[in-house]
Amino acid sequence: MTTTADPERTDLPRGDEGGRSRSGVAWALNALGVVVVGFWFVRNGLGLHHPAWVWAVGGVALAAWVVREVTRSVVVVRAAAGVMIVAGSLVVVPTDALMVVPVVAGVVLLGASTALPVWVGGVAALVGLAIVAGSAAVLGASVQFVLGASAGLLLGVLVGFGRRQLRVTEQRSREVLQEQQRAALLADRSRAARDVHDVLAHSLGGLVLQLDAVEALLEAGRVDEAARRAGEARTLAADGLAEARRAVRALRDDTVPTTDADATDTTRASRLSALLDDHRSFGGSVTAHGTEVLDELDAAHRAAVVQIAREALSNARRHAPGRPVALEVVRDGSAVSVTIANPLGSDGHGITGMRERAAELGDGSTVEAGVRDGAFVVVMCLPAAVPPEGRP
């Protein structure tokens, strides 16, 4: 299921701004930075005899850095970044640029956040630079000092923007993957629905014909023939049920085991010869020529031919009951052409399903259907240069 993250939530996923949800390496580097900067801040402060306000403001900046590392609250993290920038900038000059480190860290944090506008990092850097320049003017620092601090802030802006772009790219990649998974799921459902349609049209339509024949035979007193027809109807129902199970299983986890009975039924239902025999048992007439050419195709293409033939024969029984159907398989150079013709036109969802099955093969296979010389003709063209499994 596709989900979207609320940028204002207090428990941040994927380490966008929060501390503990980030990688261990990033957390360790920031912790090391706090320790190193804190050590030199104390050592230099004792040596240079910093005034109390420098100790206080610098301590606040370091404390904010620590808070930023240990909290997962968006509000607290952003507030800590702001304190790092403002407080750190105030003591950059007295600490001889040591405290520019937490300022840069705060700029990187705000600039890298995909939940904030892209300009926030740059504005934060300008605020820090203004404070540094103001304190430099008051405390008499050189222009070169201010330029050096501005270079550090610019680096923070660039690093933050780079991290932001990386996160945006990762997020888009996740969204594309989710859309691909959703599209694959929808395609599987569509394929299963088409399989169910084909199975029901074939098996239920055949059952109606078989049961009608059973009724007629019983009325005529031909009990033995009626019993045989009833047995054929039962076999047809079992085959249809097995195919329906297979179609429904396509919507489930592909680790669901297939029973031997299901496998046998599916194998029988997938044979073109069995399909033609079923059509004849329903009272239909069908002639087939060149079916041995299908041996040159792999299992996927043979299955597509059988499925399309099943739908075409079902259409013929619905729209031209009792009329002869001709099925012809011809190899023409690098292609195999499968033609199914019956005397009357056809419509419904079957033709669309046939075209979708051919398109799913992904190799240019096509299905064309229409009226030709007073007959409704379905023509499927497949590549012939696809050897079946186990053949040279």
Tokens of 173: 């990649």
On the question of pLDDT at 247 being above 80, the answer is: no
Cβ–Cβ < 8 Å for 338, 383: no
Q: Are strands 324-332 and 285-289 parallel, antiparallel or unpaired?
A: parallel
Domain ranges of the chain: 24-181, 285-392
pLDDT at 291: 83
pLDDT at 83: 92
Cβ–Cβ < 8 Å for 266, 242: yes
Report pLDDT digits (tens) over 170-179. Answer: 999 999 999 9
On the question of pLDDT at 258 being above 70, the answer is: no
Length of the chain: 392
On the question of pLDDT at 269 being above 60, the answer is: no
Mean of the pLDDT values across residues 290-312?
81
pLDDT at 274: 78
Beta bridge partners of 342: 376
Phi/psi-derived region of residue 196, left when phi > 0, alpha when psi is between -120 and 50, beta in every other case: alpha
Nearest alpha-carbon partner for 382 in 349, 325, 339 = 339
pLDDT at 227: 84
Report pLDDT digits (tens) over 315-348. Answer: 777 777 767 888 888 887 778 888 888 876 445 4
What percent of the chain lies above the pLDDT cut of 70? 81
What percent of the chain lies above the pLDDT cut of 90? 15
Query: SS3 for 286?
Result: strand
> Which segments within the chain are labelled E, that is strand?
285-289, 324-332, 335-342, 366-372, 375-383
Q: What is the mean pLDDT of the chain?
A: 78
How deeply is 109 buried, as exposed, middle or buried, from its count of CB atoms within 10 A (0-12, 13-18, 19+)? buried
Query: Which of 45-59, 177-191, 195-209 has the lowest average pLDDT?
Result: 195-209
On the question of pLDDT at 181 being above 50, the answer is: yes
pLDDT at 350: 61
Tokens of 19: 């501390």
Distance in angstroms (rounded) separating the CA atoms of residues 153 and 63:
20
Cβ–Cβ < 8 Å for 71, 80: yes
Q: Return the CATH class of domain 285-392.
A: alpha beta
Give CB contacts under 8 A, 24+ apart, made by 365-374. 365/301, 365/304, 367/308, 371/345, 372/341, 374/343
pTM: 0.52
Distance in angstroms (rounded) separating the CA atoms of residues 9 and 221:
78
pLDDT at 250: 56
Report pLDDT digits (tens) over 279-293. Answer: 777 767 888 888 888
Mean of the pLDDT values across residues 271-276?
80
Nearest 5°: phi and psi at 120? Answer: -65, -40
Nearest alpha-carbon partner for 281 in 327, 340, 235, 350 = 235
